[in-house]
Amino acid sequence: MTDVTEIEHCYIGRAGCGCVVAVAVDATYDLGAMVRTAECVAEFIRDGLTIERIPAETFRAKGFPFGHKCGKGRHDR
Ligand SMILES: [Zn+2]
């Protein structure tokens, strides 16, 4: 079981338009989870996203803009 309170940071992927379209938790508590995080981030980079590491609290905050807010489709990169 993952204790979510241990998640302090996450990586977000920002598309060229500036919208945050991807997120991966920065999991430091579990080696398997860290590998998955690295794979996710590698995929974001392949998709051409800009990676930023932000506090998980910021991402969880109400109203954090996730997904395209610029009019593009939800799953567009
Ligand atoms: Zn956008």
Q: For residue 29, report the distance from its CA to the centre of ligand 1, in Å.
A: 32
Q: For residue 61, report the distance from its CA to the centre of ligand 1, in Å.
A: 20
Q: For residue 31, report the distance from its CA to the centre of ligand 1, in Å.
A: 33
Rounded mean pLDDT of the chain? 89
Q: Could you tell me which residues are beta bridge partners of residue 55? A: 9
Type of residue found at 58: T
In the sheet that 20-26 helps form, which strands lie side by side, from edge to edge? 20-26, 9-14, 50-55
**pTM exceeding 0.85:** no
Query: Which tens digits make up the pLDDT trace of 2-22?
Result: 555 667 899 999 999 999 999
Q: For residue 47, report the distance from its CA to the centre of ligand 1, in Å.
A: 14
**Would you give the distance in Å from CA 17 to the centre of its chain?**
16
